């Protein structure tokens, strides 16, 4: 808690990022008290510009853009969060497995990971969700994104573990009779934590972007409001030609808030957690 | 000889692994999913016209033949590779009977042209700006650039493209909305000019995205290089600032960026696909978009396979050119 307070006080990037994320979180929580259900249509007058009664205006489907946005943010965060969890679990497991076991297993897993890094994922995602058309749900979209996003993290953890294995303290632990599992959890995991954090944020941003891309193309679950499907429907009803900019600007603004907020918080946190910059800070202070 | 064995052969093997993995995923996944592409295509055709049962049967078997769904799984897999290696991707269903290979060939020059210009420009501009900013981190312009790029970098690419379309096609309509060129193809100034005019906005969106990423990476690399011992020494020895930046910092910053270029080609390519869809640019990405709209499974599969092989090959070429830039690989 003290760390968060200090970062908030002294690091401008962290401050801006944290405020942006607070706004996003607040909007997502507001979806719980929305007067409408997420699927409601034709409940308010159509195509009204932003006003006191309708904060962000209403759209051609008769939905209140502000309350729709709260649902959209919640669902987008949910999809990306799940995708990150799935992708990182696979990545951490495979990466540490190949790092600890080594030899042939390591070589096979590493080249598979390299292959997944080079392969363009968007056409594959499009092919899969195209075949699944109409059956994509929030959960399956998250699963799909997670299954395609484990290669980078796995590669990173593998190289980290390879270097950790050679450290002096690992040998000390082994010779003093610590079990392998304990070494991994107690001695090595703390070193992986900063990487995991930075990595989760970049995975999160990728998932947000992919959800938006697939939805704009009409390849996701179009009846669930997400940031991407809001853009899809706005485009579908020609919001731009009809100059209903509020309908399109709301999801665009929300996506920018989400990604910039996460990015700023993660860079300032990694900077803080990185042992090298920490040393520098201590020297300056002392 | 030793360079060949130590560096070139493993890269070639890696290329084979990438292509086999990608192509195999594209083979396995459609077979694992509950929906059947043959049924889907049949339904799509069936909604427009009445067909008697016999015609449906023969159409179905023709489709199974086309998608390589005949015989046992290993047989299917072998047939799939055979068709891929002979470049026979079957006809497009949306633009029947144009072969998928022809559609790809028509779109390819547009995509490759747009992609290569923007990738190289964004890469170079990002590195140059990043190195300059890393060398003078306290100046006002470097701080401003830093803030701007940090905001732009994480924004999902389609959002960036949409905002540019909103600004420059609707509110300040100075650029055309769709197409790759206007008028008859000829080596005339007006035609070439129209190509540039149509490509400007898509290119701009790709360059801005690419530059932001490179800038942040190059700046971080340059600022560690600047504080390294040999640069400090050169400065004390009286080497001019220009020489330090060009010969010491820039050169050392370029190397990791070249490795990274190979790895991020896939991402850049994805960006180009989205650009073409948003801007209606007549390349492969636009064909992919029409394939989605027309439920053209064959064209989608063809473009997916083609892009996997294409990107793997491009990444291989970048990797193979690496020894030209890095003497450590050449001589050890």
Per-residue pLDDT, averaged over B270-288, amounts to 86
Please give the pLDDT value at position A196.
83
**By percentage, how much of chain B surpasses pLDDT 70?**
92
- Whether the CB-CB separation of A96 and A86 falls below 8 Å is answered with no
Separation of alpha carbons A258 and A20, rounded Å? 7
CA pseudo-torsion sign B196, B198, B204, B207: negative
Contacts 24+ apart (CB under 8 A), B326-330: B326/B255, B326/B258, B329/B3, B329/B7, B330/B3
Separation of alpha carbons B96 and B105, rounded Å? 16
- A212 vs B40: CB contact, 8 Å cut-off? no
Please give the pLDDT value at position B49.
61
Residues in A 28-57 with any Cβ partner in B closer than 8 A: none
In a mutational test of the A interface, the residue from B20, B154, B298 whose CB has the highest number of chain A CBs within 10 Å is: B154
Q: Choose the weakest-confidence range: A11-20, A56-65, A277-286, B121-130.
A: A277-286
- Where are the alpha helices (H) located in B136-183, listed in sequence order? 140-152, 157-165
Confirm or reject contact between A16 and chain B (CB < 8 A): no
- B270 vs A131: CB contact, 8 Å cut-off? no
Confidence of residue B283 (pLDDT cuts 50, 70, 90): confident
Task: Choose from A8-17, A160-169, A250-259, B277-286 the range with maximum mean pLDDT.
Answer: A250-259
Segment A230-240, tens digit of pLDDT: 999 988 888 87
| Partner residue opposite B22 with nearest CB, options A119, A209, A219 | A119
Per-residue pLDDT, averaged over A272-284, amounts to 61
Confirm or reject contact between A127 and chain B (CB < 8 A): yes
* Gap from B312 CA to chain A (nearest CA, Å): 6
Q: Is B260 exposed, middle or buried (0-12, 13-18, 19+ CB in 10 A)?
A: middle
- B269 vs A112: CB contact, 8 Å cut-off? no
Contacts with A255 from chain B: Cβ below 8 Å = 155-156, 159
- Whether the CB-CB separation of A118 and B21 falls below 8 Å is answered with no
- Of A255, A250, A253, A254, nearest in space to A49 by CA: A250
Task: Choose from A49-58, A74-83, B35-44 the range with maximum mean pLDDT.
Answer: A74-83
Please give the pLDDT value at position A70.
93
Please give the pLDDT value at position B63.
74
Per-residue pLDDT, averaged over A113-139, amounts to 84
Please give the pLDDT value at position A23.
94
Separation of alpha carbons A54 and B191, rounded Å? 49
With a cut of 60, say whether residue A77 has pLDDT above it.
yes
With a cut of 50, say whether residue A6 has pLDDT above it.
yes
Nearest CA in chain B to A264: B150
Q: What is the largest CA-CA distance in chain B?
A: 89
Per-residue pLDDT, averaged over B211-228, amounts to 86
| Partner residue opposite A120 with nearest CB, options B154, B163, B311 | B311
Confirm or reject contact between A208 and chain B (CB < 8 A): yes
Confirm or reject contact between B157 and chain A (CB < 8 A): yes
φ/ψ of A43, rounded to 5, equals -110, -15
Separation of alpha carbons B37 and B43, rounded Å? 10
Please give the pLDDT value at position A286.
37
Contacts with B159 from chain A: Cβ below 8 Å = 212, 252, 255-256
Q: What was the ipTM of the complex prediction? A: 0.80
Please give the pLDDT value at position A21.
92
Residue A58, SS3 per DSSP: strand
Neighbours of A12 (CB within 10 A): 11
| Partner residue opposite B33 with nearest CB, options A131, A255, A264 | A131
Residues in B 296-325 with any Cβ partner in A closer than 8 A: 297, 300-301, 303-304, 307-308, 311-312, 315
φ/ψ of B98, rounded to 5, equals -60, 130
Per-residue pLDDT, averaged over A110-128, amounts to 86
Q: Is B232 exposed, middle or buried (0-12, 13-18, 19+ CB in 10 A)?
A: exposed
- Whether the CB-CB separation of A129 and A229 falls below 8 Å is answered with no
Separation of alpha carbons B34 and B79, rounded Å? 22
Confirm or reject contact between A117 and chain B (CB < 8 A): yes
Peptide bond before residue B97 is cis, with ω within 30 degrees of 0 = yes
Separation of alpha carbons B315 and A158, rounded Å? 22
Q: What angle do CA B95, B100, B106 make, to 5 degrees?
A: 90
CA pseudo-torsion sign B236, B237, B242, B244: negative
Segment B139-161, tens digit of pLDDT: 888 889 988 888 888 888 888 88
Report helix angle B297-325 to B100-135, nearest 10.
Answer: 40
Joined together, the tokens standing for residue A196 give 């995991």
Per-residue pLDDT, averaged over A105-130, amounts to 86
Confidence of residue A142 (pLDDT cuts 50, 70, 90): very high
Confidence of residue A285 (pLDDT cuts 50, 70, 90): very low
Please give the pLDDT value at position A274.
65
């Amino acid at each position: 808690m003290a760390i968060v307070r200090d970062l908030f006080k002294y690091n401008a990037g962290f401050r801006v990022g944290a405020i942006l994320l607070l706004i996003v979180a607040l909007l997502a929580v507001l979806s719980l008290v929305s007067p409408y259900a997420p699927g409601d249509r034709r409940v308010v007058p159509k195509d009204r510009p932003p006003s006191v009664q309708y904060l962000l205006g209403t759209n051609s489907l008769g939905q209140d853009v502000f309350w729709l946005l709260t649902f959209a943010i919640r669902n987008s965060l949910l999809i990306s969060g799940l995708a990150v969890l799935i992708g990182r679990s696979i990545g951490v497991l495979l990466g540490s497995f190949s790092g600890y076991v080594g030899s042939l297993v390591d070589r096979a897993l590493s080249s598979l990971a390299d292959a997944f890094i080079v392969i363009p994922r968007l056409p594959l995602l499009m092919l899969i969700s195209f075949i699944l058309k109409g059956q994509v749900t929030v959960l399956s979209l998250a699963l799909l994104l997670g299954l395609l996003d484990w290669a980078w993290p796995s590669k990173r953890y593998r190289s980290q573990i390879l270097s950790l294995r050679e450290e002096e303290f690992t040998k000390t632990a082994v010779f003093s009779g610590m079990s392998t599992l304990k070494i991994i959890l107690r001695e090595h995991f703390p070193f992986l934590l900063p990487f995991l954090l930075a990595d989760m944020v970049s995975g999160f941003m990728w998932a947000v972007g992919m959800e938006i891309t697939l939805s704009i193309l009409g390849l996701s679950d179009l009846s669930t409001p997400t940031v991407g499907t809001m853009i899809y429907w706005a485009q579908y009803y020609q919001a731009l030609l009809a100059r209903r900019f509020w309908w399109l600007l709301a999801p665009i603004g929300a996506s920018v808030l989400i990604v910039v907020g996460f990015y700023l918080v993660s860079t300032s946190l990694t900077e803080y957690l990185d042992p090298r910059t920490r040393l520098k800070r201590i020297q300056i202070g002392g | 000889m030793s360079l060949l064995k130590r560096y070139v052969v493993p890269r070639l093997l890696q290329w084979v692994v990438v292509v086999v993995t990608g192509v195999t995923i594209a083979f396995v996944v459609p077979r694992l999913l509950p929906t059947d592409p043959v049924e889907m295509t049949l339904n799509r055709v069936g909604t427009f016209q009445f067909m008697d049962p016999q015609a449906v049967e023969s159409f179905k078997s023709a489709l199974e033949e086309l998608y390589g769904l005949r015989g046992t799984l290993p047989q299917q897999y072998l047939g799939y590779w055979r068709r891929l290696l002979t470049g026979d991707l079957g006809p497009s269903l949306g633009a029947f009977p144009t072969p998928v290979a022809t559609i790809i060939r028509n779109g390819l020059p547009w995509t490759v042209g747009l992609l290569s210009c923007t990738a190289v420009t964004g890469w170079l501009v990002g590195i140059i700006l990043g190195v300059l900013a890393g060398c003078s981190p306290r100046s006002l312009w470097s701080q401003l650039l830093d803030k701007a790029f940090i905001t732009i970098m994480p924004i999902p690419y389609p959002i960036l493209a949409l905002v540019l379309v909103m600004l420059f096609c609707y509110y300040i309509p100075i650029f055309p909305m769709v197409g790759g060129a206007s008028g008859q193809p000829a080596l005339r100034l007006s035609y070439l000019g129209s190509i540039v005019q149509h490509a400007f906005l898509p290119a701009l969106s790709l360059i801005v995205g690419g530059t932001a990423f490179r800038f942040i990476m190059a700046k971080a690399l340059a600022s560690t290089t600047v504080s390294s011992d040999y640069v400090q020494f050169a400065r004390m020895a009286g080497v001019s600032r220009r020489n330090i930046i060009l010969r010491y910092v820039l050169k050392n910053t370029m190397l990791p960026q070249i490795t990274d270029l190979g790895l991020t080609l896939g991402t850049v390519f994805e960006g180009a696909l989205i650009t073409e869809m948003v801007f209606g640019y007549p390349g492969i990405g636009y064909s992919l978009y029409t394939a989605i709209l027309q439920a053209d499974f064959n064209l989608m599969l063809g473009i997916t396979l083609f892009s996997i092989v294409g990107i793997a090959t491009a990444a291989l070429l970048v990797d193979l050119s690496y020894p030209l830039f890095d003497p450590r690989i050449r001589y050890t």
